[in-house]
Structure 1
């Protein structure tokens, strides 16, 4: 597990950003930790009213993220978890979700926080979920990355206007 090399980023004021969190429902304990981490980041970055939308699983993240980006959200934080099983299903879902979220970011020029855990087992997922005994808080990290990117996009756009 990585965790090393993360930037030392202090929260900035993002009160004027419209932000949505789209979160899968599978693996409830892990997902609750990821959503809690993302919402903690929203508070730290002063986002006033983030919208939270739940979807069945990771495969559904891109289509809902695209709909939210199309409604003018400045940032969309996508949270999910896929745990490897004995079939190629893991590879298909991970690829589809990753490629789909990348398309959302590029097609809509919108910040997309990538909080999709792709883990070999439950232990890895729990260790990244931002729970009390977790070593990492990927929900917080994905939200932070999306917010900072949204601020960067805003600055870039204001320079070209």
Structure 2
């Protein structure tokens, strides 16, 4: 089961992130696919929940046509925002399309982070079926909240990078 080993976010860490995010005046973009709307609504809500928990009320949501387009839109967002949270879902079908889209999106998002230096939270669900996606979407009854986790990872990385560059 995925989710095993997920780090717990302690109150002290949230307070530190809240202080750093305010000090750095972090600007956050959530780049989210339009496919699988129910799952995407949950992922976006999770990213918003995390940002609200640390006092970031202004989060810009930019919609991508699909998960394949996440990297190019994230690349442009990285020019104007301090943090990019990439959210999407690809559900396996009966053709190799799944493998190509997952690979291209994953590689592309990593390339965006490395080439721009802007943290990119990886919230791309790559699932065998819709039930797996719903279980990770942060909805009522879901076991995981990958939108929340991706936002946490990206903001945490931005804070760490700022500390390294002082």
TM-score using structure 1 length: 0.95
1:70 counterpart SS class: coil
C-alpha distance in 1, partners of 2:136/2:34? 16
Structure 1 residue 48 displacement after superposition? 2.9
C-alpha distance in 2, partners of 1:45/1:117? 24
Q: Give the 5 Å matches for 1:2-151.
A: 2-10=2-10, 11=14, 12-13=17-18, 14-15=21-22, 16-71=25-80, 73-151=81-159
Stretches (4+) displaced over 4 A: none
TM-score using structure 2 length: 0.92
Cα shift readout 1:18-70 (whole Å, capped 9, x = no counterpart): 11000000000000000000000110121131111011110010001000112
1:151 counterpart SS class: helix
Q: How many residues align?
A: 157
Bigger shift: 108-117 or 5-14? 5-14
2:134 counterpart SS class: helix
C-alpha distance in 2, partners of 1:89/1:5? 30
Q: Unaligned regions of 5+ residues in structure 2, if any? A: none
C-alpha distance in 1, partners of 2:9/2:159? 14
